[in-house]
Chain A
């Protein structure tokens, strides 16, 4: 039982990350193309357009992640809370706050949700709008100030820690180990610190002596990212699979590594393949004893080849290819072994069809959400073990109330496993949630403790009445 709980939690968490990233892939791709095209080292440099690059990656992308993440936790209101809370991080840090947004977004939403639950029954009628807006405003203000003051010192410490660790690793002389730090640091957007703060100075020193340096290549090899994206193109599912080929162009040819970060962020396990890919690349480079003459920026294959000194081509190309192959193989393995979450997620996408609904099915079971959604509710299923006792009582009681309110909604009782596909909502007892969410990972599940009279049933009834009024 314990194990299964763990497993479904892990799955739901994976689904949650995916749910946060996938709806925003388009924004990442737009940014990736703008960057690859218009920055000064891009394909068609354009000073005006390149002004878009910074604000988009610093503000737009993290805010989108934060909004989506918040929304998954507590619908629209959660999304807004997530965006406000994350803004403090964004302004407080001088690096793009992706991971921060993915934490702060849902966290802010969660705090607002808890607050809402706390004051729920105490709002005097007629004051709902005022109280809701001001509570969100004030909590948002506090979250924003909190994250703003917290993030600066955190980043500073992270930078310091990374510098110390990398300097230690360089001293050991065994360079492939550097990947263990490089790859996570890259995904966390600390790549500038390590590249410009440590590797490039080391590289330049080397270049003075030897005319080339491997340090320019330890964190900028485009191979691992290429392998990851290739694996996604072949073995990914749905949106991530479809977007991966475009991302390859931006990453490998355009040298914008950031484009692959979301693919890692939605499946953090993949950091393993990035580390192994990076390490095998460094290993190959040092085996061939090759280097670059300057720091490649952006880290595209073209920049690599342009900066390769004569006689080093075979080593440099082999290093990139080996890194690609290793990361491709490991990523493929990981993707194949963890297909389930992705499938569940995609299925729920299909079912809900609306972007807004994404991931909610998986999440409902994890977060025990009873939030208001926009899809129509025509069929409410009460479920229990046999479908005869408590669910029959619950359905019978709820049906009477629904009829009294003049709602035309089907209410019926079933054994958990026999709930028909058409049911929009499953209501079950709290202690049967595990089994229900395993049987119906994509359905909205409401749990109750009292089949005759429960606050969650009251909430649902209100929601149904509201929907009727709107319609």
Chain B
């Protein structure tokens, strides 16, 4: 399910100027695909400003998200891969952003669980970080 969800929602970008921009670009496919409203993107940025960079759940990887009521239309997930990492607050380097939008807990948890499985594999981060194109990124996700 994760692979299917991400198929059309992956972007690979060389670099971004700041973490806010990273979240915006990462979330664009979700907005265009009708998963979220524009305001959800602002809410995600706001969330990091307010609560600190806890969305950086492991070195190099962030999962920007906010609450369902902040503008989620349907459950979805998108991925942004940066070739040059960007700094989140507190100097946290991030090169992968998985944007989460949750509206339905079953499907959301299923996606989360698959994502967790992927990230718990020892070499997952290495593979993802060396991927250079949408196709290569997608190949890492099974």
Contact = CB atoms under 8 A, between A and B. Distances in A.
B58 A452 contact: yes
Interface string A11-53: 0000000000000000000000000000000000000000000
B47 interface: yes
Contacts of B113: 396
A390 interface: yes
Contact of A452 (B51, B67, B116): B116
B119 A452 contact: yes
Interface residues of B, number: 27
Interface string B39-82: 00000000100111111011100010111100000000000000
B77 to A, nearest CB: 11
A38 B77 CA distance: 77
A440 B131 CA distance: 43
A390 B55 contact: yes
B58 A389 contact: no
A439 interface: no
B115 interface: yes
B142 interface: no
Contacts, number: 70
A385 B51 contact: yes
A396 B118 CA distance: 12
Contact of A393 (B47, B57, B59): B57
A450 interface: yes
B112 interface: yes
B5 interface: no
Contacts of B102: 388-389
Contacts of B109: 392, 396
Given A396-B112, A397-B119, A397-B120, A388 B54 contact: no
A259 interface: no
Contacts of B52: 429-432
Contact of A386 (B57, B67, B119): B67
B100 interface: yes
Contacts of A432: 51-52, 54
B94 to A, nearest CB: 13
B108 interface: yes
Contacts of A396: 109, 112-113, 116
B110 to A, nearest CB: 10
A452 B47 contact: no
Given A431-B52, A431-B54, A450-B58, A386 B65 contact: yes
A388 B58 contact: no
A390 B66 CA distance: 10
A393 B67 contact: no
Contacts of B63: 389-390, 393
Query: Lowest 7 A-B CB distances belong to which pairs?
Result: A431-B52, A429-B54, A451-B57, A389-B65, A396-B116, A386-B67, A452-B58
12 contacts: A385-B50, A386-B66, A388-B100, A389-B55, A389-B102, A390-B54, A393-B115, A397-B119, A429-B52, A431-B52, A432-B52, A451-B57
Interface of A: 384-386, 388-390, 392-394, 396-397, 400, 429-432, 435, 450-453
Given A392-B108, A452-B57, 18 more contacts: A384-B54, A385-B47, A386-B65, A386-B66, A388-B67, A388-B108, A390-B55, A390-B63, A392-B112, A393-B63, A393-B112, A393-B115, A393-B116, A400-B117, A430-B52, A432-B52, A450-B57, A450-B59
